[in-house]
Amino acid sequence: MSLDGTSVVVTGAATGIGLGITECLVKSGAKVTVVGRREEPLRVLADRHPFAVAVVAADVCAPGTAERVVAVATETFGRLDAVVNNAGMAQFGPIDTLDPARFDEMFAVNVRAPADLIRCALPQLRANKGSVVNISSVGGVLSMPGRAYYGATKAALNSLTRSLARELAPDVRVNAILPGPVDTPLWTNAGLDDAGIERLRTDLTAATPMGRFGDRTEIGQWVCNLLDPALSGWVTGALIPVDGGRTA
């Protein structure tokens, strides 16, 4: 597999799944514009991969971020071929205890920001017969008591993926990966205490036929597969679970 010379934007690239995606893309020969709120870990990535990584330190929900990201990618690497919408937010809790404002925040990060970035990148993506991969979640297709708000935003992202796949075909392919539980910092930022996180991890492991959490590079490899037209040139509108059998 080779993505030599392909220019890709990855949001939420500093840690977790986004970091795994970026590392896999660079290994495959891609040039990557990494986006995240914290500049320091993005600079570490850029220092590790000189000439292959450009940095945009910004909140994906802030006005003008999508336009800035597209500008940096095209000015740095001369083109933009693909967008990976990985940045996400998760807040867990029963509906009668979770602040509805968290729902608004999750929707902005998990749905509106990906839509904005696709819209702004569309001229480049169309010109280059490009591709979009949205990082969704099995939470968008499974019932998730205690995580209903989060699951609802991921279901919306799945719907966005499938609708845009038809709307933008044949020029732009749009797919989504639905990870199961993956070891990332998301678990410590989900609004649960330590005991709640441990219970959730135990329950998720028990519900996963492969009996373990996934690794971020396992998601990254699937992103590379979907972006490579030689492997996936006839694949669009797909919601692909990479979940250790969680949705089986």
Q: Which residues are catalytic?
A: 150
Give the rounded distance of the alpha carbon of 122 from its chain centre. Answer: 18
> What Å distances lie between residue 166 and 127, 169, 171, 172, 174, CA to CA?
17, 5, 10, 9, 9
Give the rounded distance of the alpha carbon of 51 from its chain centre. Answer: 23
Q: Is 61 helix (H, G, I), strand (E, B) or coil?
A: coil
Q: What is the largest CA-CA distance in the chain?
A: 50
Q: Which residues contact 198 (CB under 8 A, 6 or more apart)?
A: none
